[in-house]
Chain A
Amino acid sequence: MLVKNSIKSQAALEFLTTYAWAFVIIGITIAALYSFGIFDFSKYLPQKCIFPSQFKCLDFSLKPTEVKVKLSNNLGEDITITSLQITNDAVTPISCTAPASFDWMHATEKDIIFTGCSGGGYIPDVRVELKISMSYFAINTPSRPIHLVNGKINGKVLSS
């Protein structure tokens, strides 16, 4: 009886020991993969710039301290850009120097460049999602009401 119990408990202990080690190894492996960013699936998404079709986004670049976006004025009207803002969802959002107001003829393209970008997790080789707000008015509309357009850039900051 004693021998039988001893063999059973040994088997149970061996079973537990084997699986405890297995769990520890699996845990460490998952932690290592996580720390290397394997589970950050968003990096497998394409880099994109989304604006309404009236301001079609043609291209963009995210340099270490500069955000550049090329937009096309498809409104069919000449406009004046009154203000531009860039932000993101970080606790301390990204801060950049926005370009001054400018006139924008219809059917033309403009490079909008935000300089001196910092904060908001805007770090080289890191994927970021930036929101750009643009206010404008149409030059030929008598009361010149201000309109707001929002766009989004999802991309990786270049290393240099």
Chain B
Amino acid sequence: MVKSYLAKDRCLRLAGSHLSQSSMEYLLVVALTLAIIVPTTYLFYSYSKESSQEITDAQISKLGRSIVDTAESIFYSGQGSKTVIDLNIPDGVDSALIIDGRELVLNITTNFGTSEIVFFSSVNMTTTSSNCIANICRLPEIGAPGIQKVKIEAISNSVKIEVI
């Protein structure tokens, strides 16, 4: 009776040992997977955050240069010349201003604060008179992300920039 009980107990222990081994292996595999995934995710996230910042900066530079270059080109084409350009406004552009007719200022928000990206024009820029107060003209539509159509037209002694 006792012999058969001990034999059964040995069997149970052996089975338990196998079970605990597989549990331990499972835990080790999960731990190793997490140890690889967590730092990798963090590193990729940090890289992508910095890269997106650089991409936004490049998009904004292209946007500003595009407006100013087109304005200069249209101005020197003569009064009455006009064109419409499609601009892709990236996220992060809060507003746009023209100061003194020569500075196109884009206010942008980045993950390390608000900055002003300024583009200088050799020709006088302006917009619809209702958006101008003293030497500052606002381009409120530029603050909305997405595709915007911008009309650039040479008028008497300046270039009129307006979102249509």
When the two chains form their complex, are residues A133 and B9 in contact, meaning their CB atoms are under 8 A apart? Answer: no
When the two chains form their complex, are residues B120 and A76 in contact, meaning their CB atoms are under 8 A apart? Answer: yes
Q: Does B46 contact A (CB under 8 A)?
A: yes
Note all chain A residues with C-beta closer than 8 A to B60: 52
Interface residues on B, range: 20 to 34
**Per DSSP, are chain A's interface residues mostly helix, strand or loop, or mixed?**
mixed
When the two chains form their complex, are residues A138 and B46 in contact, meaning their CB atoms are under 8 A apart? Answer: no
Q: Does B11 contact A (CB under 8 A)?
A: no
Chain A nearest Cβ from B114, distance in angstroms: 7
Number of A-B residue pairs, CB cutoff 8 Å, is 74
- Alpha-carbon gap, A133 to B113, bound state (A): 9
Q: Please name 20 further chain A to chain B contacts, defined as beta carbons within 8 Å, in addition to the given A48-B50, A52-B60, A131-B112, sorted by A numbering.
A: A3-B2, A11-B16, A15-B20, A41-B39, A41-B42, A45-B46, A45-B47, A50-B50, A50-B54, A53-B57, A53-B58, A54-B118, A138-B120, A141-B102, A141-B120, A142-B135, A145-B103, A147-B105, A147-B118, A148-B114
Identify the B interface with A (CB < 8 A): 2, 5, 9, 13, 16, 20, 39, 42-43, 46-47, 50, 53-54, 57-58, 60-61, 99-100, 102-103, 105, 110, 112-118, 120, 135
